[in-house]
Amino acid sequence: MASVGIRRRVSRRTGLVTYQVWWLLDDGSQGAETVASKDQARALAAQKRLQITRDTWHGRRRGRLPFSTWADLWWADWSADPHRSPHTLVMAESRLRNHVRPVFVDRPIDRIGPAEIRRWQTQLAAATGHATVQQCRSLLLRIFQYAVDEGALDANPVRKVAVPKRRAD
Helix/strand/coil for 36: coil
Is the per-residue pLDDT at 87 higher than 60? yes
Q: Which fold has domain 63-160?
A: DNA polymerase; domain 1 (1.10.150)
Order across the sheet with 17-24: list the strands. 3-10, 17-24, 30-35
What is the average per-residue pLDDT within 161-167?
86
List for the chain the helix, strand, coil content (%; round to 5).
Answer: 55, 15, 30
pLDDT tens per residue, range 96-138:
999 999 999 899 998 999 999 999 999 999 999 999 999 999 9
* Cα distance between residue 53 and residue 120, in whole Å: 41
pLDDT tens per residue, range 57-77:
555 567 788 999 999 999 999
Handedness of CA 135, 159, 146, 30 (dihedral sign): positive
Determine how many CB atoms are found less than 10 A away from the CB of residue 119.
12
* Cα distance between residue 74 and residue 35, in whole Å: 34
- The pLDDT assigned to 55 comes to 62
pLDDT tens per residue, range 138-153:
999 999 999 888 878 8
pTM for the structure as a whole: 0.66
Please state which of the ranges 36-40, 48-52, 159-163 shows the lowest mean pLDDT: 48-52
- The pLDDT assigned to 150 comes to 82
Segments making up each domain of the chain, as ranges: 3-57, 63-160
* Cα distance between residue 161 and residue 165, in whole Å: 12
